[in-house]
Structure 1
Amino acid sequence: MLAMHVGAVVALLPRFWSWQALVALAFLYWMTVLGVTLGLHRLVTHRSFSAPLWLERTLVLMGAMACQSGPIEWVGLHRHHHKFSDQPNDHHDAGRGLWWAHSGWMLHQIPALEHVERLTGDLQRDPFYRWLDRWFLLLQAPLGVALYAYGELAGVHGGGLGLVLWAIPLRLVLVYHVTWLVNSATHAFGYRNFNCPDRSRNCWWVAILTFGEGWHNNHHAFPHSARHGLRWFELDITWQHIRLLRALGWARRVRLAHYRP
């Protein structure tokens, strides 16, 4: 984690700037965040819709590119969070403060890990997910090699190293923090459509950064809904992707909640 943050700072040095690096960052940010929100979260954790196995595995691979542990651990911890949201045994209990909920909890022992296997029986049966849960970090290697080779061959300003720094450490740090904002900011800032027994709130700027995950109070009220933005002004980019998949016939049995004031 420390190395990724150092690498992100180094990436911002002028010598590593290029339009190609910015494009790589933007594309991979879209791919990675969508892998987390659409793949790991709405599809696999909550089963808010069903998809062909090839598509599910593709989306989970995209989510694993976020390097936020493997898919089994990610899903297990998130399911545990919903069972005990903002209670003392919630691993990122917002009642312990913004820093704790944002990232402080990761620096300590996480008792919730003991429950991951029990909460992820559906994923444990799949050897692909078991493999990915162990080796997810390896996904960055071919990406780094391909970007470095392209940067050197194309004569990009900053070279291959510049592309690698923008596409891996800088991207990962951005994705880390926008994801963690769902644990911290959306339990502290914003408004509530529903009286949930936790601190969850709807925060518009987190929703923009996370493609719709910032409508967190809506999500905690209806965890299995594929759509988090329930009011007309609650932009939910991930939901728009699900609508596209449904139109293509690749998203079926879509579960939806509706806002009724």
Structure 2
Amino acid sequence: MTATISRSSAWANHAQTPITKLPRNWAVISFMAALHGLALIALLPQFWSWGSTATLLILYWVTACLGVTIGYHRLLSHRALRLPQWLERFFATCGALSCQQGPIDWVGLHRHHHKFSDTDSDHHNSHRGFWWSHMGWMFRDIPAERAIPHFTGDLAKDPYYRWLNRWFLVLQLPLAGLLFWIGSVTGAGGWALVLWGIPLRLVLVYHCTWLVNSATHRWGYIRHSSGDGSRNNPWVAALTFGEGWHNTHHAYPHSARHGWGWREPDLTWMHIQLLQRLGLATQVRLPAPLLAQAASGGVV
């Protein structure tokens, strides 16, 4: 990630442009409208079953926890741990199945957010309102997207990530085929599993992970000095496998652990601990205060 990007850079100056003057991104608006419509159809009684519920929960874990929080966020964006290449690519693929852009674009915008968090240059600046930080920013063509290459030189070197960044939407097609086949042979209903496993699951993953941009910059408590409006929010942490300990994350962005102590359970950190015990995760990064506490025999 380029460390010399100044706050006066051209792509950071969209703060001077009123929200209503930014061009609408009709592709994203249309996609979101269609997806939310299909999610509502999925909730019709004829599509519910224990099988469709299990499909939703399993894929929510695969895409939100393994994909977004471990893969896109702590692994690729912040390099808080290292994994063998095959396993890193597996987690990145799970992230691509979340349909929250490809790994290069997601990481680039996230690194941009950390550099300009809650300033006028932050593309989902929470001071512009809950709706804007939650999802409104995606409905406009934001200049921050032009900064992505400057933040993602490390990922752009990998041909698989370049491919995944371009074709992440296509991954939903083989997943839909697999779910339809499973639903047909098990009697759970092919279309039921497709609707619960793709549009309903995606809408759930979207809004829960977006709460990290919106709710945790509005409600919660401040544990550390982070220089922005981030807060630790227990109910967002419960929905996002530990991502809701957002103030701690902004204070120590390269830490593999966000929740500190038993009062702040961090399910993503538990997954990383398991990977460590299996000898798969190395160079796991923790902040100095946690390391000092562990060295002194304190409970962390």
Matched residues in 1 for 2:175 and 2:149: separation?
A: 30
Matched, 1:246 2:246: no
Matched residues in 1 for 2:162 and 2:172: separation?
A: 18
Q: Which has the larger radius of gyration?
A: 2
- Residue 108 (structure 1) aligns with: 140
Q: Among 152, 163, 179, which residue is 1:147 paired with?
A: 179
Matched, 1:255 2:255: no
Q: Among 203, 210, 218, which residue is 1:180 paired with?
A: 210
Q: Among 115, 118, 121, which residue is 1:83 paired with?
A: 115
Matched residues in 2 for 1:248 and 1:103: separation?
A: 38
- Residue 71 (structure 1) aligns with: 103
- Residue 221 (structure 2) aligns with: 191
Offset at 1:227? 0.1
Matched residues in 2 for 1:29 and 1:137: separation?
A: 17
Superposed, which structure 2 residues align to 1:3-18 within 5 Å?
3-18=34-49
Worse overlay, 7-16 or 250-259: 250-259
Matched residues in 2 for 1:63 and 1:119: separation?
A: 18
Matched, 1:38 2:70: yes
Question: Could you report, residue by residue, the CA deviation over 1:99-141 in whole angstroms, capped at 9, with x for unpaired residues?
Answer: 0000011111111111100100000100000000000011111
Matched residues in 1 for 2:50 and 2:147: separation?
A: 45
Q: Which runs of 4+ in 1 moved over 4 A?
A: none
TM-score by length of 2: 0.85
Superposed, which structure 2 residues align to 1:91-102 within 5 Å?
91-102=123-134
Question: Could you report, residue by residue, the CA deviation over 1:126-160 in whole angstroms, capped at 9, with x for unpaired residues?
Answer: 0000000000011111110111122122222xx21
Counterpart of 2:135 in structure 1: which amino acid?
Answer: S
Question: Could you report, residue by residue, the CA deviation over 1:23-54 in whole angstroms, capped at 9, with x for unpaired residues?
Answer: 11110000001210001100110000111001
Matched residues in 2 for 1:145 and 1:2: separation?
A: 23
Three-state SS of the structure 2 residue aligned to 1:184 is helix
Offset at 1:212? 0.4
Offset at 1:197? 1.2
Over the aligned positions, Cα root-mean-square deviation in angstroms equals: 0.9
Matched residues in 1 for 2:262 and 2:53: separation?
A: 32
TM-score by length of 1: 0.97
Matched residues in 2 for 1:29 and 1:226: separation?
A: 21
Counterpart of 2:56 in structure 1: which amino acid?
Answer: L
Three-state SS of the structure 1 residue aligned to 2:81 is coil
Matched residues in 2 for 1:143 and 1:79: separation?
A: 29
Matched, 1:26 2:57: yes
Matched residues in 1 for 2:248 and 2:206: separation?
A: 22
- Residue 246 (structure 2) aligns with: 216
Question: Could you report, residue by residue, the CA deviation over 1:63-119 in whole angstroms, capped at 9, with x for unpaired residues?
Answer: 111101111000000000000000111000000010000001111111111110010
Matched residues in 1 for 2:262 and 2:239: separation?
A: 18
* Structure 2: tracts of 5 or more residues without a match: 1-31, 294-300
Matched residues in 2 for 1:14 and 1:193: separation?
A: 44
What percentage of residue pairs aligned between the two structures are identical? 60
Offset at 1:170? 0.3
Three-state SS of the structure 1 residue aligned to 2:255 is coil
- Residue 234 (structure 1) aligns with: 264
